[in-house]
Structure 1
């Protein structure tokens, strides 16, 4: 499965000169967890997450402590560019979702902007990856069959079964037809594994 098939598009962005409060409102209004930050030309300058925006915005409430609490003299950050992450992991639309998911798990990144050249064309979040896996087995089976019927060689008939996203193909076919059926099945959203029997 390709990144472009999993990404959310169009993507909501925020300028680096926006205030932290504005960014918090945008996250809340769109029910998202991160925003790509753009410069004046609309190019990716960073990313800001819920965690980035929460740093330093709350003052301690003295009612919660038995003793007086020390307050900080420094004001909380005001602008997005003060709290954003500048080193951003990105993906390409034709990249592999499995590779991106591995990167996100390894680095604990929750959202990855998708770039076509320097243009932000989408974003992939953990929520997007979870949504792919919620597709039912019956729908996955139908989509695998449709892909094989449309693009597979010789109109060969395959018996397709799906359990928890794992696809099993059964049929008598040569090596090339088996490879093509395998590739086509792997392109279907929600497929987690493909095996060919027969």
Structure 2
């Protein structure tokens, strides 16, 4: 599966000159965990997450302590540019989703912008990936059958069963037809693995 098949587009972005409060409101209203930060020309200059925006936004409540809470050493940041991450990990829309998942797991990032040429094409969050995995077996089976019929006349007669995202392919075709069916089935969102039965 390719990144472009799971990415969210159009991308909600935050202007670099916005305040932290404006960005908090946008992420909350859009129900997203992060957004790319763009300059006046629309070029990505960073990314800002919920955690970035929460930093320094709350003061200690004196009711929670036996003695008065210490005054903060400095005022909290007020501009998005002060809290954003300037060095952004990205993927291309033609990258394999497996590479994206590996990037998320090794770096701990929850959202990754998707690049096309030099511009922003989309964004993928962990929630997007979970949504693909949450596809029911019946939907996956229908999508695999449709893909097999549309993409190759040789694979149109293949038998398909799906259980927990695992696609079982069967049919009377030769090895070449089985390989074609395998490749096609693996491109369908929600497919975890493909096995063959004669």
- What TM-score do the two structures reach when normalised by structure 1? 0.95
1:145 alignment partner in structure 2: 145
1:64 alignment partner in structure 2: 64
Q: Closer, same or farther in 2 for the Cα pair 1:24/1:169, shift >3 Å?
A: same
> Which stretch has the larger CA shift, 115-124 or 21-30?
115-124
2:27 alignment partner in structure 1: 27
Q: Closer, same or farther in 2 for the Cα pair 1:155/1:99, shift >3 Å?
A: closer
Q: Residues of 2 paired with 1:157 and 1:175: CA distance? A: 14
C-alpha displacement of 1:142: 1.1
Q: Residues of 1 paired with 2:102 and 2:154: CA distance? A: 36
- Whether contact under 8 Å (1:90, 1:112) holds in the other structure is yes
Aligned: 1:51 with 2:51 = yes
1:180 alignment partner in structure 2: 180
Q: Residues of 1 paired with 2:179 and 2:99: CA distance? A: 21
The gaps in structure 2 that reach 5 residues or longer are none
Equivalent runs, 1:1-198 vs 2, <5 Å: 1-154=1-154, 157-198=157-198
Q: Residues of 2 paired with 1:186 and 1:154: CA distance? A: 17
Which runs of at least 4 in structure 1 moved beyond 6 Å after TM superposition? none
Q: Residues of 1 paired with 2:41 and 2:184: CA distance? A: 39
Residue by residue over 1:91-111, the C-alpha shift from the partner in whole angstroms, topping out at 9 and shown as x without a partner, is 111111122112212221100
Aligned length: 198
Q: Residues of 2 paired with 1:174 and 1:86: CA distance? A: 53
- Whether contact under 8 Å (1:44, 1:118) holds in the other structure is no
Q: Residues of 2 paired with 1:45 and 1:67: CA distance? A: 43
Secondary structure of 1:148 counterpart? helix
Q: Residues of 1 paired with 2:107 and 2:171: CA distance? A: 40
The gaps in structure 1 that reach 5 residues or longer are none
